[in-house]
Amino acid sequence: MGKRVVIGMSGGVDSSVAALMLKQQGYDVIGLFMHNWEEDENGQCTSAEDWRDVIGVCGKIGIPYYSVNFAKEYMDRVFKYFLDEYAAGRTPNPDVLCNREIKFGPFKDYAKSLGADYVATGHYCGVSHDGGEFLLTAADSNKDQTYFLNQVTTEQIKDVIFPLSDILKPQVREIAEKYDLVTAKKKDSTGICFIGERKFRQFLAEYLPARPGEIVDTDGRILGEHNGLMYYTLGQRKGFGIGGVSGAEQNRWYVVDKDLDRNRLVVSCGEGEELFSRSCVCSGLNIIGEWKEKEFEAAAKFRYRQGEQKVFVRIEGDKVKVEFAEPQRAVTPGQYAVFYVPFDGKKRRCLGGAVIDETFG
């Protein structure tokens, strides 16, 4: 029997194929499914359906499977932060924290209690254990998920395997169909699991009281009323209920700022020049693996579906000053600046990242 690998099974096609690949490589594979949210009677989270699919996949490929409940840990370590950030007018990314605080924290510890030599997930990313621990980008650049792993620690990626690091998404589907896995045609999950199919505003209103206020343009003219600043993000172009405004350009309106002190949503109309910035300051820097440079050129992403942007980084304690080679649109406080540098000529190394605090024009 080979080395034991405990793999996080989500009920999706990616973790299903990752588990199959590990089994074919001769590992002693155990599937482990996480329940991270206690559903109420009106809940729409797909946890029950996902668990059924995990049972089907594990039965098909012939591996044992278990489930574990981390709902309390998720509430304490991820969801409370999520609410606090929205209450402060920022736009958090709970999936980033879920990886650090749950999947590579309590989950990994539980896997070790099952005798795991290694822990695996279906993330699209890579890892190098040669001369240190380094987080690497995936071969499938369209699916690369290093952005969401930017806050995991160096220690957390020790003894971790990412089976999908060198495989493309279409190949994953082909493998799932070839071996008749029940998840072969299952749609990829989107959004945050605990919200499920519910409307985001409706869900958020269950936990945070909405404070309606004025919508104003950059000159301070009152244009309407918003439903609560937490419902809007920088660059958003719809959902205001603003029609044509006398004396204003007749283009689409977009959010340029949130005035927390006066509970005002600031919008503008035109091409979005106000949304561009040339630098930002970040906090809570996390570096994965050894790195000694305090000032360096790198590439950065400020949101998941963004290409890498050339930047100059200056580290000052746990603060990071980031200067952009080209002005960037809608760099949003509460989101993450994630940094990349060359690794071996083929893949890129994800250095880690920090939370965006403030931007400068």
Same domain, 170 and 29: yes
For residue 214, tell me if it sits in a domain.
yes
List the domain range (segments joined by +) for residue 19: 4-122+163-178
Same domain, 10 and 118: yes
Q: What is the pLDDT of residues 255-278, one digit of tens each?
A: 999 999 999 999 998 767 888 999
Q: Which of 45, 58, 125, 193 is catalytic?
A: 193
Which of the residue ranges 164-178, 272-286, 333-347 has the most confident prediction, judged by mean pLDDT?
164-178
Report the domain count for the chain: 3
For residue 23, tell me if it sits in a domain.
yes
Of the pLDDT bands very low, low, confident and very high (cuts 50, 70, 90), residue 130 is: confident
Percentage of the chain surpassing pLDDT 90? 73
Q: Which of 271, 289, 322 is the last residue of a domain?
A: 271
Contact 258, 291 (CB under 8 A): no
For residue 15, tell me if it sits in a domain.
yes
SS (H, E, C) the chain: CCCEEEEECCCCHHHHHHHHHHHHCCCEEEEEEEECCCCCCCCCCCHHHHHHHHHHHHHHHCCCEEEEECHHHHHHHHHHHHHHHHHCCCCCCHHHHHHHHHHCCHHHHHHHHCCCCEEECCCCCEEECCCCCEEECCCCCCCCCHHHHCCCCCHHHCCEECCCCCCCHHHHHHHHHHCCCCCCCCCCCCCCCCCCCCCHHHHHHCCCCCCCEEEEECCCCEEEEECCHHHCCCCCCCCCCCCCCCCCCCCCEEEEEEECCCCEEEEEECCCHHHEEEEEEEEEEEECCCCCCCEEEEEEECCCCCCCEEEEEEEECCEEEEEEEEEEECCCCCCEEEEEEECCCCCEEEEEEEEEEEEEC
Instruction: Give me the chain's average pLDDT, please.
Output: 91
pLDDT at 113 over 80: yes
**pLDDT for 308:** 94
Which of the residue ranges 39-43, 54-58, 71-75, 86-90 has the most confident prediction, judged by mean pLDDT?
54-58
**pLDDT for 290:** 94
Of the pLDDT bands very low, low, confident and very high (cuts 50, 70, 90), residue 192 is: low
Residue 296, domain CATH: 2.40.30.10
For residue 143, tell me if it sits in a domain.
no
Same domain, 217 and 295: no
For residue 351, tell me if it sits in a domain.
yes
280 is catalytic: no
Question: What average pLDDT does range 314-337 have in this prediction?
Answer: 94
Dist CA 153 CA 139 (whole Å)? 22
Of the pLDDT bands very low, low, confident and very high (cuts 50, 70, 90), residue 5 is: very high
Same domain, 265 and 281: no
**pLDDT for 296:** 98
Same domain, 85 and 113: yes
Question: What average pLDDT does range 49-77 have in this prediction?
Answer: 95
Question: What average pLDDT does range 32-56 have in this prediction?
Answer: 79
**pLDDT for 46:** 65
350 is catalytic: no
Q: Which of 98, 269, 280, 282 is catalytic?
A: 98
**pLDDT for 88:** 86
**pLDDT for 271:** 67
Question: What average pLDDT does range 324-345 have in this prediction?
Answer: 94
**pLDDT for 41:** 47
